[in-house]
Amino acid sequence: MTTRRKFLTATGAGALAVPLAAPAIVKAQAPIRWRFQTYAGAALGEQVTKPIIDYINAAAQGELEIELFYADQIVPTGELFQALQRGTIDGVHSDDDSMASPTPLRVFGGYFPFATKHILDVPVLFNQYGLADIWREEYAKVGVQWLSAAGQDPCNFNTTKEITSVDDLDGLRLYTFPTAGRFLAKFGVVSVNIPYEDAEVAVQTGELDGMAWSGITEDYTVGWADVTDYFLTNNISGAWIGSFFVNQERWAELPDHLKQLVMASIEAGHTYRNQWYWGGEARLRAQGDKLALRSVPADEWAVVEDAAKEFWNEIAEESETHAKIVQIFRDYNEVINQAGPPYNFE
């Protein structure tokens, strides 16, 4: 007798009895986790670093999660590079000078005296004049992936004492960057090296006379305008040079689409900081009510500018890489001086 099974097979209906393949079970991959530290304290970091980290975390949709730490929270700022190199932290936002970079680039990070006139000079120098290639190559030698640089605010002075002449700089105890301090020592400034978050209290206790660290936007944002009285409109550099760095191994492990996301987020952050600083510098000079503006006459401040040219010569003699970078600054300054206002601000 024909069995039901044979009947179904014979008529082709047996195809219905073939079990379907089990549905694939998609396992969510564990997110890549980074620890990231910025040179900036919490109040400033809210504007200069956090928007980028927030954007990456939201857009990565769980594939990459970055935990942000502010100045000195994991390691002191001066140990940022070593921690990055070791993998204690995975990413850093800082200038080369503050993080004690062991490369020849250290003196050019932060505020290299009179290398720039304003914030847009920095991306031009990196993207059009070759600094990006130099930074990328030098950090590759020491196991760190340099990602991108941008400008921020100028280096003015906010102090408890009036500055109306170059002579008034003599004896001032200021919180500043190592290279800026080295330069300002020519005018009798005593640079004081303390943790970022301690600077405000140091002014209140009299340990410091103020800061040569930022423009007026930061003075108001981080509270320094509450403990100092005067803001000198003359500066020693038109824009801070700072970068984003990642541990080389962590960067190599990142999928290409996440690398693109990180880079796009950083570039978007540069655009945000450009307007935040540029608008803040103008608004707070014009409408701020905490710091009285003071200026040294341009013809007298020219002494400081001339000293910077000598300083450049000193730095250029230190190594071939130093000389190459100094020449780039010279070439760029020649161009903007020939171009005239608004490039050279004269």
Q: Are 281 and 217 in contact (CB under 8 A)?
A: yes
* 3-state secondary structure string across 85-118: HHCCCCEEEECCCCCCCCCCCHHHCECCCCCCCC
Tell whether 64 and 102 lie within a shared domain.
yes
Tell whether 252 and 114 lie within a shared domain.
yes
Tell whether 39 and 122 lie within a shared domain.
yes
Location of structure tokens 């423009």: 215
Tell whether 75 and 142 lie within a shared domain.
yes
Tell whether 147 and 165 lie within a shared domain.
no
**Res. 15 pLDDT band, cuts 50 70 90:** very low
pLDDT above 90 for 70: yes
Q: Are 186 and 151 in contact (CB under 8 A)?
A: no
| pLDDT recorded at residue 29 | 76
Tell whether 266 and 241 lie within a shared domain.
yes
Q: What is the mean pLDDT of residues 305-327?
A: 98
**Res. 28 pLDDT band, cuts 50 70 90:** low
pLDDT above 90 for 17: no
Strand partners, 157: 232
| pLDDT recorded at residue 346 | 58
| pLDDT recorded at residue 46 | 97
Q: What is the CATH number of the domain that holds 115?
A: 3.40.190.170
Backbone angles phi, psi at 283, to 5 degrees: -65, -45
Q: What is the mean pLDDT of residues 253-271?
A: 97
| pLDDT recorded at residue 63 | 98
Residue 73: inside a domain, yes or no?
Answer: yes
**Res. 22 pLDDT band, cuts 50 70 90:** very low
Residue 250: inside a domain, yes or no?
Answer: yes
- Residue 187's domain spans which residues? 157-232
∠ Cα 306 311 312 (to 5°): 100
Residues 6+ apart with CB under 8 A from 260: none
pLDDT above 80 for 3: no
**Res. 344 pLDDT band, cuts 50 70 90:** confident
Q: Domain boundary residue among 197, 232, 267?
A: 232
Q: Give the tens place of pLDDT for each residue, 289-304.
A: 999 999 999 999 999 9
